[in-house]
């Protein structure tokens, strides 16, 4: 009974109370151990994790003994400590009732406030939010040495900020304005890069008759964002600034109504909702079956997030499909629609590592860079906490491996992740595979005509031939159209004549910003030398496709070694296999490989069996 009277505070300096008396933990080390157990209340914390956390990965040889001694001190110091702190499975667990920990009370009050708001009892919801926020006395576990509370502390601090911002929104909706200015100035000073408090301050100032000060707040943030991050204020804040300049009557009402009606661009659905999706391509064509499949998989109704892996060769439109699908389904994910380029084939830049990717995702969800954990474990914990409480749609574009995506998938079962890759990624846990081929001929023709624009007099048969020569590849069709637009004296027949030369074809499909040759070269360069050599050799086969036996003969190696080579090229989507087991090339890949063979300037036949056998080994 006595143990239940003990209360712990972590939303500030570590605090232990039994009734009206304060209990001291018995030293710095016991306090640190207790802090970690409280952050993981109800869960077993292994001894090795306590050691690593408390000593910042540089523990003394006696660390385990010191932790056990610290736990013993805590059990003696805290009334009922023997019952509160249990030893289990090589670690320790602290078992508390909800009312014994201020962080648990904070979470409960937030949940109750959300329920009251849903019932329309806004006044009572505001009261509970203010009670929850009053529990905070400073930074989480303020004053404890080591960096161990970093990740959980950051997650809790983010929940506090979200609660504060939501409370201010409700108070603004209730008609408060001048009384909020001082509080909001303090919040914006504490978090100068955060846009939601700045928006609320601008609105409170404007409603208090201080229009000039409201506009000054926008200009101050714009300058700060440009200097610190090289970005501009988001659509919602910019829309509010424009509405203030025009003195829109609706500004006297709830803040969410402003951007929905008066923004020139599509604004988020609520305060601070991040939308970083690229726009849908204006000439996007076809892919109806694939879009329907993505929508079907998003409706899976499972207990884990839906994950769809879209793979295919360079230029087949993987990103365009994912972006179009994300915009069509965006209304289902009101807490954020995020796009992240994983740079699997960016040319000159290494693939994005998981730590940097997690930083970007946390930043997109409103956690400033200076408040993010400094170690990978902390970043993972923060992202899991942030994504567990949100319905998110996430595009992970141009992944190079399953490992690169594994830590980035959202946690909430109501979320959707669309992963694109030039590689087949069967190892992405729980993912649905959506392979993407070139466009059917009629869709390719529609794309070409849209990209060319109206008013051209090209012969229909020449346009059909261009679609065939481009192999229905969306990127190639767009580049063909771009060449014709830049050369108004040309007609489709002129470009078709140039593309009939197979070896020079990929070099004709270019623009100042991109080209088929560059796109395929990035896939080719990512291969080991043995596979590059095999690709060049197989492309010389005169027929449109070949069997496993023919590939074995061309490579002059054993059947098992040839199978390993073919599997590697299939994994990279540089060859394809049909139902009968025959292998073939997309015409542009074959053209590229033939050009690579000529550029190699070596006798490909010499030593090819040795190289293939080395690869198989």
- The pLDDT value recorded for residue 358 is 92
User: Which whole number is the average pLDDT over 523-545?
Assistant: 87
CATH of domain 522-616: 1.10.10.10
According to DSSP, the residues that pair with 187 across neighbouring strands are none
Q: Locate the DSSP E strands across 293-428.
A: 306-311, 337-341, 393-399, 416-421
Burial class of 318 by CB neighbour count within 10 A (0 to 12, 13 to 18, 19+): buried
Fold of 1-145: Arc Repressor Mutant, subunit A (1.10.10)
Q: Can you give the residue ranges of every domain in the chain?
A: 1-145, 175-272, 288-435, 441-500, 522-616
Separation between Cα atoms, residue 86 and residue 93, nearest integer Å: 5
Burial string for 213-245 (b: 16+ CB within 10 Å, else e) reads ebbebbeebbeebeeeeeeebbbbbbbbbbbbe
User: Coil, strand, or helix at residue 29?
Assistant: helix
Mean pLDDT of the chain: 84
Separation between Cα atoms, residue 459 and residue 444, nearest integer Å: 16
Render 533-596 in DSSP notation, one character per residue: HHHHHHHT-SSSEE-HHHHHHHHTS-HHHHHHHHHHHHHTTSSEE-TTS-EE--HHHHHHHHHH
Q: Report whether 17 contacts 45 (CB < 8 A).
A: no
Task: HSE, CB side, 13 Å, CA atoms: give it for residue 536.
Answer: 22
Separation between Cα atoms, residue 586 and residue 539, nearest integer Å: 10
Q: Report whether 567 contacts 423 (CB < 8 A).
A: no
Separation between Cα atoms, residue 525 and residue 400, nearest integer Å: 13
Q: At what angle do helices 548-555 and 559-571 cross, to 10 degrees?
A: 100
Of the candidates 393, 274, 294, 395, the one whose C-alpha atom is nearest the C-alpha of residue 339 is 395
- Reported pTM: 0.62
User: Coil, strand, or helix at residue 275?
Assistant: strand
Separation between Cα atoms, residue 379 and residue 381, nearest integer Å: 5
User: Which whole number is the average pLDDT over 584-609?
Assistant: 71
pLDDT score of 356 more than 50: yes
Chain mean position to CA 601 = 43
Task: Label residue 607 by pLDDT band (50, 70, 90).
Answer: very low
Does this chain's domain 1-145 share its CATH topology with 522-616? yes
pLDDT score of 150 more than 70: no
Residue at token pair 């869709």: 443
According to DSSP, the residues that pair with 499 across neighbouring strands are none
Separation between Cα atoms, residue 555 and residue 613, nearest integer Å: 9
According to DSSP, the residues that pair with 186 across neighbouring strands are none
Q: Select from 1.10.230.10, 1.25.40.10, 3.10.20.30, 1.10.1200.120 the CATH code of 175-272.
A: 1.25.40.10
Residue 27 phi, psi dihedral angles, 5° rounding:
135, 170
Separation between Cα atoms, residue 464 and residue 241, nearest integer Å: 50
Task: Label residue 257 by pLDDT band (50, 70, 90).
Answer: very low
How many of the other CB atoms lie within 10 Å of CB of 491? 16
pLDDT per position as a tens digit, 93-143: 999 988 899 999 998 999 899 888 888 888 899 999 999 999 998 888 887
Q: Report whether 250 contacts 258 (CB < 8 A).
A: yes
Higher pLDDT, 93 or 603: 93
Q: Report whether 548 contacts 566 (CB < 8 A).
A: yes
- The pLDDT value recorded for residue 300 is 67
Token pair for residue 112?
Answer: 């109750």
User: Which whole number is the average pLDDT over 273-287?
Assistant: 85
pLDDT score of 598 more than 80: no
Which residues, in sequence order, are CB contacts of 187 under 8 Å at separation 6+? 164, 168, 197, 201
Separation between Cα atoms, residue 25 and residue 137, nearest integer Å: 19
Say if strands 306-311 and 432-435 run parallel, antiparallel, or are unpaired: parallel
The class of domain 288-435 in CATH terms is: alpha beta
Q: Comparing 270-284, 326-340, 367-381, which segment has the lowest mean pLDDT? A: 270-284
pLDDT score of 318 more than 90: yes
Token pair for residue 179?
Answer: 């009384």
pLDDT score of 92 more than 90: yes
Question: For a pLDDT cut of 70, what percent of the chain falls above it?
Answer: 90
Render 501-533 in DSSP notation, one character per residue: SGGGHHHHSB-SS-BHHHHHHHHHHTS-HHHHH
DSSP letter at 17 equals: E
Separation between Cα atoms, residue 166 and residue 596, nearest integer Å: 59
Chain mean position to CA 384 = 12
Token pair for residue 598?
Answer: 């000529």
How many of the other CB atoms lie within 10 Å of CB of 559? 12
How many of the other CB atoms lie within 10 Å of CB of 471? 24
- The pLDDT value recorded for residue 261 is 28
Q: Report whether 284 contacts 324 (CB < 8 A).
A: yes
pLDDT score of 1 more than 70: no
Higher pLDDT, 594 or 184: 184
- The pLDDT value recorded for residue 146 is 58
Q: Kindly report the CA angle at 495 between 490 and 497, in degrees rounded to 5?
A: 120
Dmax over Cα atoms in the chain, in whole Å? 91
pLDDT per position as a tens digit, 389-412: 889 999 999 999 998 999 999 988
pLDDT score of 209 more than 50: yes
User: Coil, strand, or helix at residue 321?
Assistant: helix
pLDDT score of 612 more than 80: no
């Amino acid at each position: 009974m006595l143990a239940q009277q003990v209360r712990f505070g972590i939303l500030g300096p570590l605090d232990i109370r039994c009734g009206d008396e304060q209990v001291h933990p018995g030293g710095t080390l016991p306090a640190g151990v207790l802090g970690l157990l409280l952050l993981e209340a109800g869960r077993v914390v292994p001894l090795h994790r306590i050691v690593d956390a408390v000593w910042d990965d540089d523990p003394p040889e006696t660390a385990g003994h010191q932790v056990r001694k610290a736990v013993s001190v805590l059990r003696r110091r805290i009334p009922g400590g023997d019952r509160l702190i249990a030893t289990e499975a090589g670690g320790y667990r602290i078992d508390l009732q909800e009312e014994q920990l201020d962080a648990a009370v904070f979470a409960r009050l937030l949940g109750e406030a959300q329920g009251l708001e849903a019932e329309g009892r806004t006044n009572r919801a505001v009261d509970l939010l203010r009670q929850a926020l009053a529990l905070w006395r400073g930074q989480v576990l303020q004053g404890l040495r080591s960096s161990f509370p970093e990740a959980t502390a950051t997650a809790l601090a983010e929940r506090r900020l979200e609660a504060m911002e939501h409370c201010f929104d409700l108070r603004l909706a209730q008609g408060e304005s001048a009384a909020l200015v001082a509080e909001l100035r303090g919040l914006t000073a504490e978090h100068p890069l955060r846009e939601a408090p700045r928006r609320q301050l601008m609105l409170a100032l404007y409603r208090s008759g201080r229009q000039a000060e409201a506009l000054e707040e926008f200009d101050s943030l714009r300058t700060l964002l440009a200097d610190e991050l090289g970005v501009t204020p988001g659509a919602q804040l910019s829309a509010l600034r424009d509405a203030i300049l025009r003195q829109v009557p609706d500004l006297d009402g709830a803040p969410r109504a402003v951007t929905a009606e008066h923004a020139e661009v599509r604004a988020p659905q609520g305060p601070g909702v991040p939308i970083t999706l690229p726009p849908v391509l204006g000439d996007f064509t076809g892919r109806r079956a694939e879009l329907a499949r993505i929508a079907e998989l998003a409706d899976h109704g499972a207990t884990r997030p839906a994950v769809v892996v879209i793979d295919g060769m360079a230029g087949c439109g993987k990103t365009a499909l994912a972006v179009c699908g994300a915009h069509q389904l965006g209304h289902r994910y009101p807490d954020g629609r995020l796009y992240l380029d994983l740079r699997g084939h960016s040319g000159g830049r290494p693939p994005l590592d998981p730590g940097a990717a997690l930083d970007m995702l946390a930043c997109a969800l409103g956690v400033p860079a200076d408040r993010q954990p400094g170690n990978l474990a902390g970043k993972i914990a923060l992202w899991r906490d942030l994504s567990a409480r949100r319905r998110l749609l996430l595009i992970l574009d141009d992944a190079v491996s399953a490992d690169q995506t594994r830590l980035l998938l959202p946690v909430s079962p109501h979320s959707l992740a669309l992963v694109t890759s030039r590689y087949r990624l069967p190892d992405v846990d729980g993912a649905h595979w959506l392979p993407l081929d070139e466009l059917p001929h009629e869709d390719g023709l529609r794309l070409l005509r849209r990209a060319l624009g109206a008013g051209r007099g090209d012969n229909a048969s020449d346009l059909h031939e261009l679609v065939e020569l481009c192999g229905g590849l969306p990127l190639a069709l767009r580049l063909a159209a771009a060449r014709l637009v830049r050369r108004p004296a040309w007609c489709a027949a002129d470009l078709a004549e140039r593309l009939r030369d197979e070896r020079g074809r990929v070099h004709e499909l270019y623009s100042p910003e991109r080209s088929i040759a560059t796109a395929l070269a990035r896939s080719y360069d990512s291969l080991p030398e043995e596979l590059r050599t095999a690709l060049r050799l197989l492309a010389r086969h005169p027929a449109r496709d070949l069997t496993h036996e023919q590939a074995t003969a061309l490579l002059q190696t054993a059947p098992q070694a040839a199978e390993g080579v073919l599997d590697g090229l299939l994994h990279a989507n540089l060859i394809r296999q049909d139902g009968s087991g025959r292998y073939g090339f997309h015409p542009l890949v074959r053209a590229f490989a033939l050009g690579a063979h000529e550029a190699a300037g070596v006798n490909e036949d010499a030593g090819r069996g040795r190289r293939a056998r080395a690869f198989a080994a």
